[in-house]
A and B are shown apart, each in its own frame.
Chain A
Amino acid sequence: MKNMSPRKRNPVECLPLATGSQEKARGDDLASVYDRRLKTYDPAGDNVRKFLDLLAVRINRSLAVSLVACVHCGMCVDSCHYALTHPGDSTMTPVYKADQIRRIFKRRLDWTGRIVPWWVHAATPASDEDLNRLKNIVFGTCSACRRCTLNCPMGVDTASLVRFTRGLLTELGIVPEGVFNVSRDEWETGNQMAVTPLDYLGTLQWMRDDLRTDPKLSGLEIPVVRPDCDFMYTINPREIKFDPRSIAQAAKIFHLAGERWTLPSAGWDQTNFGMYSGDDRLGGYIARNLYEAAVRLRAGRIVISECGHGFRSTRWEGYTWAEYDQNIPSESVVRTLKRYLKEQRIRVDKSKNALPVTFHDSCNIARSGGMTEEPRWVLNEVCSNFQEMHPNRTENYCCTGGGGLLSMAEYRPLRLESAAVKARQLEATGAKLVCTMCHNCVDGLNDVVKHYKLDMKIVQVLELVENALVY
């Protein structure tokens, strides 16, 4: 960046921009590339100018306040798992990461930074190389867990600044390859794992048939496109692709509770990579698909399967991205389970879950979604040995796979280093089962458990409830 003295850089900041997938997408003449919904990198484009113009157009009031309000007090440092695990590396602190966009904002839009930039370290990116460095910082060194935001005395929302910066870079195609690939799949197929309608319907049928082998469940259905139901159930494509057991568990519980429910044929993906890439248009497209499916089916509510960012994007952010006023209530499936238990629509025996179990709060559900008590209430109903993790609820640490980091292989070594905090936290519980209500956290925590050789198994709430069922 201009006007900046050279400083020792973290190796992650220097990772190159990989564009193999982008070139292939252009070569394949994908519709999303052709009509410029999915942006690819143009080395001959005036990317710095475009970045600055986008910054000026897209910035909103709360982001502007977060950019001007930071006093560089350093209170956020000890809240970040990257900073805690790299105490000698000042580039790992939340304030350093936020300052990378802050200095550009100051140079471009703020008074003092425009007149005397050196006084406030305001700077403009000099080249695409600087934009690539910025990409590595906002995608590779932050899981957008919002822990620093909740620990900032000024209310600076660093996680939102990181997402905002990601969004600007996504518009220029300056993104990690994994982010490009998943965004491509979402734009092209309407779900983030490119699940085909055949795969989707075939897996549902397979789960239904599998469940029906139990004579007590012979009448069980996994209904698709049934109108006027109590709720429309929405899932994570990972459930179709890698772990359909969770669909079976949900279907079994809904059946035993006597629920009238349905899955949609389209708009079933409650995950949303627009949240991670910062692309509000993608976010709005995916969210709108889902909301409109619920309206088409005249569903009484939308129930979101266990997924952190899926819950946050479907329940909260998606309406804003899609510019869609919420007209149907929505809730996490964990809240649905709680209702069944409270109303005694299902019966459970907690002695069936005797192993010590602890609960990991998904950042997007606890810190950004406001749901911390329901999963604990349910776990206390279905487990005989629940042990709290410390810190917990809104102060819990990220599984370290958040922010879309699981899709960015190049940042994996740094991610696993920063996971030492989580590993110590898990180990201290003495639990054998770590329960979470997020598919992303399942994969993130599995990585932590494997890397740090912890004797633990990662499970989800549905799994434990289903295991405790008495019928």
Chain B
Amino acid sequence: MSPLLQFIEDKVQIAALFFMVAVYTIRIFWLFKFRAVRERSLPEGKARAGVAYSLSNVVLPWAMESTRKNPWFYIQFVVFHLGVTAAISATFIIPYAPHWLASSDIVAAFQAVMGAALAVGIWRFIRRLHSPALRAISTPDDFAAILLMIAYFALGILAVPNRAERGEGPMIAFFILTAFFLIYVPFSKISHYLYYPFGRVFLGRTLGRRGVFPVRKSASGRRAEGDQGR
């Protein structure tokens, strides 16, 4: 392995990661500078139950009509984010635990997951271009995010075999793109995962207090028994 690849795999990544953590820390402080609203009504349901339900909806595709009626979209979401997880994992495994990729089966598994995510990424990019509703709201940031992810998955597929002796080009490109992501992502929509818990917690807390969350589908009438003030 060349000193350049070693430097990019290790020092550059760590520096970029520190940068990302620092920016995210400031970002969270920035968000919390906005005033919080205190609910003053007496609760009907449990805020905690609402929060738990709200946060778990990511694994409950039947909970929302939007995912229940679009199972294909939900599958795409799962595949895409598994690909992201695989690609991010690879950035740690390659430099710090390369023996985990010694087995060709594991390498193939990583490549399959990222390959599937790549296909979803391409599909999502076409969808964004093709759908008038999405085109009307899409920003350069939206297009860049999906294109960068497509490139990232492609480079990840080439990098995971971790065979520097066969050519370092794809690995160098993969790690340069990783470092770029770590610096760029806090300023782009890709950082939605940072906001996800806050968004779900705030909504879950409000609707949990009111007994809207967890949503009940049956006409059991159980909620009606919890008659406040009776």
A-side interface residues toward B, CB under 8 Å? Answer: 7, 59-66, 68-72, 74-79, 83, 88, 90-91, 93, 95-96, 99, 111-112, 118-121, 149-157, 301, 315-316, 318-320, 323-326, 329-331, 335, 338-339, 366-374, 376-377, 391, 393-395
Q: Would you call A155 and B40 a contact (CB within 8 A)?
A: no
Q: How near does chain B come to A418, taking the closest CB pair, in angstroms?
A: 15
Question: Complex formed: what's the CA distance from A329 to B41 in Å?
Answer: 9
Contact B66 A78 (CB under 8 A): yes
Known: A149-B203, A155-B199. A338 touches B36 (CB 8 A): no
Q: Given the complex of chains A and B, what is the CA–CA distance between A70 and B57 in angstroms? A: 16
A120 to B143, CA, bound (A): 10
| Closest chain A CB from B95 CB (angstroms) | 30
Contact B37 A155 (CB under 8 A): no
Interface size range on B against A: 35 or more
- Spot the interface stretch: B4-12, B162-170, B205-213: B205-213
Question: Smallest Cβ distance from A283 to chain B, in angstroms?
Answer: 13
Given A61-B31, A61-B36, A329-B42, A157 contacting B203 (CB threshold 8 A): yes
Q: Please pick, from B131, B195, B212, B216, the residue contacting A154 in the complex, using a CB distance under 8 A.
A: B195
Query: Which residues of the other chain, B, contact A155 by a CB distance below 8 angstroms?
Result: 54, 196, 199-200, 202-204
**Contacts of A366 on B, CB cut-off 8 Å?**
212
Knowing A157-B203, A370-B207, A370-B210 touch, does A95 contact B64 (C-beta < 8 A)?
Answer: no
Please report the C-alpha to C-alpha distance between residue A68 and residue B192 in the assembled complex, in whole angstroms.
Answer: 8
Structural contact, A99 and B137, CB atoms closer than 8 A: yes
Decide: A319 and B192 in contact? CB cutoff 8 A.
no
CB-CB under 8 A from B44, the residues of chain A are 370
Contact B67 A79 (CB under 8 A): no
CB distance from B14 to the nearest CB of A (A): 24
Residue of B whose beta carbon sits closest to that of A71: B192
Let me know if A112 and B187 touch, CB within 8 A: yes
Residues of B within 8 A of A120 (CB): 139-141, 189
In angstroms, Cα B108 to Cα A201, docked, is 80
A119 near B37 with CB under 8 A, answer no
A371: chain B residues within 8 A (beta carbon): 211, 223
Instruction: Evaluate contact between B41 and A93: CB separation under 8 angstroms.
Output: no
Query: Which residues on A sit within 8 Å (CB–CB) of B196?
Result: 69, 154-155
Q: Verify if B106 is at the interface (C-beta below 8 Å from A).
A: no
Tell me if B133 is interfacial: C-beta within 8 Å of chain A: yes
A59, A69, A368: which contacts B195 (Cβ < 8 A)? Answer: A69
Give B2-42 as 1s and 0s: 1 = Cβ < 8 Å from A's Cβ atoms.
Answer: 00000000000000000000000000000110111111111
Q: In whole Å, how far is B171's beta carbon from the nearest beta carbon of chain A?
A: 29
Would A119 and B212 count as touching, CB distance under 8 A? Answer: no
A323: B residues at CB distance < 8 A: 40
Chain B residues with Cβ under 8 A from A118's Cβ?
140
What would be 19 A-B contacts, judged by CB atoms less than 8 Å apart? Answer: A62-B36, A62-B202, A64-B34, A65-B202, A69-B198, A75-B70, A78-B65, A120-B189, A153-B58, A153-B67, A154-B200, A155-B196, A316-B41, A316-B210, A323-B40, A326-B41, A330-B229, A373-B222, A373-B224
The answer to whether B136 touches A74, judged by C-beta atoms less than 8 angstroms apart, is no
Do the beta carbons of B35 and A61 come within 8 Å of each other?
yes
Interface centre among B58, B199, B228 (most CB of A within 10 A): B199
Choose among B31, B34, B35, B224 the residue that contacts A374 (Cβ–Cβ < 8 A): B224
CB-nearest residue of chain A relative to B37? A60
Decide if B220 is an interface residue (CB 8 Å cutoff).
yes
Closest to B188 in A: A112
Q: Kindly supply a per-residue 1/0 record for chain B positions 139-152, scoring 1 wherever the CB is within 8 Å of any chain A CB and 0 otherwise.
A: 11110000000000
Q: Which residue of B lies closest to A324 (CB)?
A: B40
- List residues of chain A with CB within 8 A of the CB of B220: 373
Q: Does B97 contact A (CB under 8 A)?
A: no
The CA of A111 and the CA of B189, in the complex, are separated in Å by 12
Contact assessment for A156 and B199 in the assembled complex, using a CB-CB cutoff below 8 Å:
yes
Q: How far is the CA of A370 from the CA of B41 in the complex (A)?
A: 14
Tell whether, in the assembled complex, residue B136 and residue A7 are in contact, meaning their CB atoms are under 8 Å apart. yes
- Which of B31, B38, B131, B227 is the most central at the interface, judged by chain A CB atoms within 10 Å of its CB? B227
- Say yes or no: A119 contacts B202, CB within 8 Å: no
Asked if B41 and A72 sit within 8 Å, CB to CB, the answer is no
Give the shortest distance, in Å, between A463 (CB) and chain B (any CB): 21
Most chain A CB inside 10 Å of its own CB: which residue of B131, B137, B211, B230? B137
Q: Say whether A65 contacts B41, CB under 8 Å.
A: no
CB distance from A183 to the nearest CB of B (A): 22
B133 touches A90 (CB 8 A): yes
Establish whether residues B66 and A79, one from each chain, have CB atoms under 8 Å apart when the complex forms: yes
Known pairs A155-B196, A155-B200, A329-B228; list 16 more (Cβ under 8 Å): A61-B35, A62-B37, A65-B199, A65-B202, A68-B31, A69-B195, A69-B199, A74-B134, A76-B66, A90-B132, A96-B133, A120-B139, A154-B199, A156-B199, A330-B229, A393-B215
Give Cα A324 to B212, complex, Å. Answer: 23
Given contacts A61-B202, A395-B65, A91 and B195 within 8 Å (CB-CB): no
A404 smallest CB distance to B (angstroms): 21
For the complex formed, measure the closest distance between the CB of A260 and the CB atoms of chain B, giving whole angstroms.
16
CB-CB under 8 A from B133, the residues of chain A are 74, 77, 83, 90, 93, 95-96
